[in-house]
């Protein structure tokens, strides 16, 4: 009978799911924390619409943002490019490790299934017992040996503190099950087994890499196809790595739209300043101050 998932295995799987979900939530909360620090964004009625209308009529975009320039040729800036390459290489390495671990764990599952099908009880002797901790959970690693037809074999298994092997010391006799067709394959009853799916926890860097690609792809598309307009800065807040900026502008329909984004750390912005903003004509709420931090126009 196949043993149920161990507490360690369950903990690893739960932690993996939590991290995969938590990565995007972390960045969302980090952005929201900057907004809270600045006290929030004023509602559209508090913005001088007449000033925004005058700004839209008078504002002229820089040459690279002219409507005739779309789609613009967009490339990554240096820092995101280096980070993307580093994370990408690390993710590839983790994928290779995951495939190797999965193959090894799957092989153990197949061997365990063979022992369960044609296993026979065999007397063995404990040759080593060591306490180990994994993710804060203690267990024993029990190594034992047994003899079949004059041939000596050694194997080991991981057991919990609640196991009956807790009282067994080096030299103590124990009963194990071995495969009748392949005597080298054996297992302790109650051994903690890891599922092959446990190996996929190493895919977390790959999940983070895909999240980075998705985020950069959205910024790239916005800069390549978005419309440019002038906006009035409502509020700013200095953050690590940039300046959180809240602004207001008029979309093509004349509706007041408020937005926020992060300007480069060297930006000298104050409330009331005029900045360039890129927005999606079909979804004006998708907007960002120009220039972007992660992507730029290749001129």
Q: What stretches of 103-215 adopt beta strand conformation (E)?
A: 119-134, 137-148, 151-160, 173-179, 186-187
Quick check: pTM over 0.75?
Answer: no
> DSSP letters along 264-290, please?
-TT----TT-EEEEEE-SS-TTSEEEE
CATH class of residue range 40-70+226-297:
mainly beta
User: Could you tell me what percentage of the chain is helix, strand and coil, using 3-state DSSP and rounding each to the nearest 5?
Assistant: 40, 30, 25
Per domain, the residue ranges of the chain are 40-70+226-297, 95-203
Judge residue 78's burial from the number of C-beta atoms within 10 Å of its C-beta, 0-12 exposed, 13-18 middle, 19 or more buried: exposed
Domains 40-70+226-297 and 95-203 in one fold:
yes
In the prediction, which pLDDT does 226 show? Answer: 93
In the prediction, which pLDDT does 6 show? Answer: 46
- Per CATH, the number for 95-203 is 2.40.50
- Comparing CA positions, the residue from 29, 207, 187 lying closest to residue 113 is 187
Structure tokens at 135: 């993710």
**Are the CB atoms for 80 and 294 separated by under 8 Å?**
yes
Task: State how far the Cα of 263 lies from the Cα of 34, in Å rounded to an integer.
Answer: 13
**Mean pLDDT (10-residue bins), the chain, 299 residues:** 45 55 59 50 61 90 80 90 90 86 81 85 88 69 90 86 60 86 85 65 79 91 94 87 88 91 80 92 93 87
Structure tokens at 69: 């320039």
In the prediction, which pLDDT does 4 show? Answer: 42
Task: State how far the Cα of 293 lies from the Cα of 299, in Å rounded to an integer.
Answer: 16
């Amino acid at each position: 009978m196949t043993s149920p998932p161990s507490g360690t295995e369950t903990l690893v799987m739960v932690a993996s799911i939590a991290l995969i979900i938590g990565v995007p939530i972390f960045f969302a909360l980090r952005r929201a924390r900057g907004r809270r620090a600045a006290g929030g964004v004023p509602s559209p009625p508090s913005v001088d619409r007449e000033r925004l209308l005058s700004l839209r009529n008078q504002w002229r975009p820089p040459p690279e943002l002219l409507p005739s320039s779309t789609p613009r040729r967009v490339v990554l800036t240096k820092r995101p490019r280096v980070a993307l390459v580093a994370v990408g290489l690390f993710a590839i390495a983790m994928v290779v490790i995951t495939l190797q671990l999965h193959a090894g764990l799957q092989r153990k599952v197949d061997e365990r299934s063979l022992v369960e099908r044609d296993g026979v009880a065999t007397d063995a002797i404990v040759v080593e017992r060591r306490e180990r901790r994994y993710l804060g959970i203690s267990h024993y690693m029990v190594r034992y040996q047994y003899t079949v037809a004059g041939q000596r074999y050694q194997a080991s298994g991981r057991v919990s503190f609640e196991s009956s092997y807790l009282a067994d010391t080096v030299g103590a006799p124990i009963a194990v099950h071995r495969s009748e067709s392949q005597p080298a394959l054996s297992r302790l009853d109650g051994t903690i087994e890891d599922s092959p799916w446990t190996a996929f926890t190493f895919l977390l860097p790959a999940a983070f890499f895909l999240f980075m690609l998705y985020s950069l792809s959205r910024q790239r598309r916005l800069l390549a196809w978005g419309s440019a307009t002038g906006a009035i800065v409502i509020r700013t807040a200095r953050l690590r790595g940039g300046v959180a900026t809240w602004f207001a502008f008029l979309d093509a329909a004349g509706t007041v739209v408020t937005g926020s984004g992060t300007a480069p750390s060297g930006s000298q912005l104050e409330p009331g300043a005029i900045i360039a903003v890129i927005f999606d004509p079909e979804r004006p709420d998708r907007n960002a101050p120009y220039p972007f931090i992660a992507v730029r126009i290749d001129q």
